[in-house]
Amino acid sequence: MSLYASSIPTYQQILGGMQNVLDKAIAQCAARKYDEAHILGDRLYPDMFNFARQIQSFCDHAAGSSLRCAGKEANLPARDETTLAGLRERVVKSLAMVNSVSKADVDAHADKPVTFPMGPRQVTMKGADYMMHFAFPNFYFHATTTYNILRHRGIEIGKRDFLGVIPGFPTA
C-alpha cells in the first residue's frame, strides 16, 4: 500500500468527522447557553494541552505532514482561534490542505528526507517514517483527546461522529 493510500484518506475521513463533531458542539453549547470558552480552555489533566490546542495540533499534524510528504512548504495558520466556529474553520482549512496533495507527490517522497519542527528544533526523517510513526500517531492522539474533552463536557456525540464517513461501510 502506498504512503498516500495509507494516510491521506484517513486524514480526510477523520477531519470530515471532526467538522460534524464541532457542528454538534456549537449547536449544543448554543441550545444549553453554555459558555464555549470553558470548553476551549478545558483539558483532561493539568499538564495536557487545552481543547483549542488539541484541535490545532491534530490539524497541524494532518496538514503539515501531508504537505511536507508531498514536497511542499507547510505554511500552517497561526494558532489563534478563540471560538468553536473558528476551530471548525481551522479543520476545514486543514482538510483543504490535505486535499491539495497528489498521490504521485506523496508517494514520491516516501523514501526522501522530510524536515519538520518539533518544539524549538528541526527534525529530519524519511517521509514514510515521519508520516506513519510521528505525524499519524500524533494526529490520532490529539483528535481522540479532542473528542474525549467534548464527551467529558456532556456534548452528545458518539464514535460514529468521530469516525465520519467510512469508505465502503454501510450507511444504514
The pLDDT tens digits for 123-160 are 999 999 999 999 999 999 999 999 999 999 999 999 99
All three cell numbers of 172, joined, read 444504514
Can you give the residue ranges of every domain in the chain? Answer: 3-158
Q: Letter for the amino acid at 37?
A: A
Tell me the longest C-alpha to C-alpha distance in the chain. Answer: 51
CB within 8 Å of 115: residues ≥ 6 apart? 68, 122, 123, 124
Q: Which residue reads 519538520 in cell numbers?
A: 116
pLDDT digits (tens, 9 = 90+) for 39-97: 999 999 999 999 999 999 999 999 999 999 999 999 999 999 999 999 999 999 999 99
Contact criterion met (CB below 8 Å) for 65 and 131: yes
Q: Which residue reads 469508505 in cell numbers?
A: 167
Q: pTM for the whole thing? A: 0.95
All three cell numbers of 47, joined, read 499538564
CATH fold of 3-158: Four Helix Bundle (Hemerythrin (Met), subunit A) (1.20.120)
Q: Letter for the amino acid at 121?
A: R
